[in-house]
Structure 1
Amino acid sequence: MIKMRKGALTLFESALYKTASAVVQGEDAVLIVDPCWLPGEVEEIRRYADEAAVNGKRKYVLFTHSDYDHIIGYGAFPDAEIIASAALAGKSAEAKAELEEQIRAFDDSYYLERGYEIRYPAVTHAIEGDGQRLRLGASGSLELTFYQSPGHNDDGLYTVVEPLGLLFAGDYWSDIEFPYIYHDSRLYETSIAKLDAMLEAHAVTRLIPGHGSSTTDRAEMKRRQTADFAYIAAMRAAVRAGDQAGIDALIAGCRFPRNLRKFHRGNQTLFERELREEREAGGRP
C-alpha cells in the first residue's frame, strides 16, 4: 500500500478509489490519518503504526470527516486517541448507526470479515472553529492546526501538521475527482476558499487529498482550487438555465467516467434542490 515514504511521513493508497491514508511520526507521537479501506489494508496500516509507536510513543487517529470509507478502520486502533471535528463527534445516535450500517453493508457486499468491531468513532479531541491547535505527545513534537471544512459533508476538518507543513484536506482538492458535494454547495465554496488563508498562515509543503495524489507545488494547489470553483459556478449556472448538455459537458474527459458520472448526477440533484429552496425562499429566479 505504501505510495510514498519521505522523512516522518508515510502515505498509503488503497486499491479502492485511490483513497489516501497516512502515518506521521513525531518524537513521541504517531499520527494516523483516515486508516482504510479493505481489512488487509487497515491491518497493514495498523502494523506500520504499531512498529512506529516504540518507546512509549502515543498514538492518535485523525478522521478528516465521517464518510464511512474514511472511518471504516476506527476499530483497529483501540489504544489511540481520536481527533475529529466537533460536528463529527456530535452526530445523532441515528446518524452514527446509519454510518455503521453502511460499513456493514459494504463488507457484506464483498464477503469481507474484519478482526475488529465496527463502531462509530468515540472522539477524544473534538475540534471547534478555525485555528484551534493541538500538540501531540508529551513534548508536542507535532502541532496540529485545524480549520472546519463543511460542504462535502457536514463535518469536514482540514488539518495542518507542523513543523512538517502537511495539509490533510479530506475529500477536497483531488486531482481525480471534481467536487463531490453531499451537503451544501455554498459551504463547499467557503471551505475551499480557506486554502488561501492556510497557505498564508502556514508553510504548507504538501497538500494531501483524501483521494488521488498529493502535491508539493503551490501552483498546483491553487490550480485545483480554481478548477473546483469553476466547476461549482458552471454547474450552478447550467442548472439555473436548465442546460442538460452543459451539465453533461462539465465532466467530459474525466478519468473513470462510468463511476464519476454517478457523483456528477448526484451533484446535479443537489444543485436543483438548492435552486428550488432559493426560489421558495424568494430568491432571484
Structure 2
Amino acid sequence: MKAVSVHPDVIVVTSRIWKTTATAVRSGGEAFLIDSPILPDELEILPALMAQAEFPVNGLLVTHADWDHLLGQYAFPDAAIGCGETTAARLTAEPGAAARELRAFDEEYYVDRPRPLSIPGVQALPVPGYCAVGEQELELHPADGHTADGTAIWIPWARVLVVGDYLSSHAIPELSPGASLDKYLTTLRRLAPLVSQADVVVPGHGEPLDAARAAAILREDVAYLEGLQGADAEKAPLPLARRSGAQRNLHQYNLSLLREGRAS
C-alpha cells in the first residue's frame, strides 16, 4: 500500500490491488476515512499509519456501495459510517450483497480475513449537502451513473476532490447493472467546475491527479460515453492511454450491459 500526503489535512492511500484509494481528511481533532483499501494487511496497518500521522479517525464515509469501498470497518470497527442517501438505499435494498462479493473475491485470490464483512448500519446523509468534520465542512455532491448510487466529496479548505469511481487514469468509464449513461454524463459535467477548482482530484482507482490531468480525463470520458450513445457504439473512442486488452474487454462489457438492457 502506498500513502501520500496531498495536503497537511489529507492523506491518500492506494491499495496494491486495483489501485483502490482511500482518503483520510482531518480537522479540529477529528478525522474521517473516505472509502477503503482492499487487502487485509493494508487494513491492519491503517490505524497505526493514521495514528502516526495524527489523523484520529472516528468516522467512515463511502462514495458508493461497491464492496471494495466498504472495508473501512476492518480497520476502524468502532467508527460510524456515513454515506449519501442513494448509497444507504442501495445497501438496504441489497442486504448481504457486498459480503458475498467480497467472499467471492477472497476465494478467487486465496485471501483470508479475520471475520466476514459486516455493515451494522449507516447514517444516510443528504446529497447535495454538507458533512461536518471537526471545525470544517465537507461538501457532498451527487455522483450516480457508474452505479445507481454515488457521492463525490469536495474538501474545500484543502482543494481536494474525491470522486469515487470516476476519472481513473487507468480505466475507461465502467457501467454496471443499474447504471445510466445519461446520469454518468450528468455527473461528469457536474464535476467539471469542481475539478477546475481543485489542486488534487482523487479517483476511486488510480493515483491522485492534478486538475489539468483530471480535466483531460474528464473530456476523454465524456467523448467515450457520447460514443456509446451513438449509432455505432462499438466504435466509441477509447482514450489513447487506455486502450489495453483489459480496457477493450471492459468496453465489450459495457456494450453487453447496454444491449441486454441491464444499463440504460
Quickly name the TM-score band, shorter chain normalised. Answer: 0.7 to 0.9
Q: Deviations over 1:189-231 (max 9, x none)?
A: 111111234357xx422111011122223x3332122111100
Say which of 126, 129, 136 aligns to 1:128: 126
Contact 1:180 1:263 in 2 (8 A): yes
Contact 1:128 1:148 in 2 (8 A): no
Q: Does 1:111 align with 2:129?
A: no
Cα distance change on mapping 1:186 and 1:211 into 2, 3 Å: same
What's the counterpart of residue 170 of structure 2?
176
What's the counterpart of residue 186 of structure 1?
182
| Per-residue deviation, 1:115 | 2.5
What's the counterpart of residue 78 of structure 1?
77
What's the counterpart of residue 2 of structure 2?
2
Cα distance change on mapping 1:69 and 1:51 into 2, 3 Å: same
How many residues of Structure 1 are paired with residues of Structure 2 in the alignment? Answer: 261
Q: Which amino acid aligns with 1:35?
A: S
Measure the CA separation in 2 of the matches of 1:255 and 1:196: 20
What's the counterpart of residue 43 of structure 2?
42
| Per-residue deviation, 1:274 | 5.2
Contact 1:53 1:59 in 2 (8 A): no
Correspondences of 1:1-285 after superposition (within 5 Å): 1-6=1-6, 7-52=8-53, 57=56, 59-91=58-90, 93=92, 95-120=94-119, 122-124=121-123, 126-130=124-128, 132-137=129-134, 140=135, 142-182=136-176, 183-199=179-195, 203-217=197-211, 219-237=212-230, 240-241=231-232, 244=234, 246-247=235-236, 250-251=237-238, 253-255=240-242, 257-273=244-260
Cα distance change on mapping 1:253 and 1:22 into 2, 3 Å: same
Q: Deviations over 1:66-120 (max 9, x none)?
A: 1111113433322212121112112365613122100011112222222344123
Q: Deviations over 1:3-34 (max 9, x none)?
A: 42242222211111111112223231112121
Contact 1:87 1:155 in 2 (8 A): yes
Contact 1:2 1:10 in 2 (8 A): no
TM-score in terms of structure 1 length: 0.82
Q: Which amino acid aligns with 1:234?
A: G
Give unpaired runs (5+ residues) of structure 1. Answer: 278-285
Q: Which has the higher contact order (CA 8 A, sep 6+)?
A: 2
Cα distance change on mapping 1:223 and 1:121 into 2, 3 Å: farther
Contact 2:84 2:151 in 1 (8 A): yes
Cα distance change on mapping 1:185 and 1:2 into 2, 3 Å: same
Q: Which amino acid aligns with 2:18?
A: Y
29-38 vs 41-50, greater mean Cα deviation: 41-50
Measure the CA separation in 1 of the matches of 2:199 and 2:183: 26
Q: Deviations over 1:153-183 (max 9, x none)?
A: 0111000113111110000111111111211
| Per-residue deviation, 1:255 | 4.8
Measure the CA separation in 2 of the matches of 1:234 and 1:154: 21
Measure the CA separation in 2 of the matches of 1:150 and 1:121: 24
Cα distance change on mapping 1:5 and 1:196 into 2, 3 Å: closer
Cα distance change on mapping 1:51 and 1:96 into 2, 3 Å: farther
Larger Rg: 1
Measure the CA separation in 1 of the matches of 2:252 and 2:5: 36
Runs of 4+ in 1 over 6 A off after TM superposition: none
| Per-residue deviation, 1:260 | 2.2
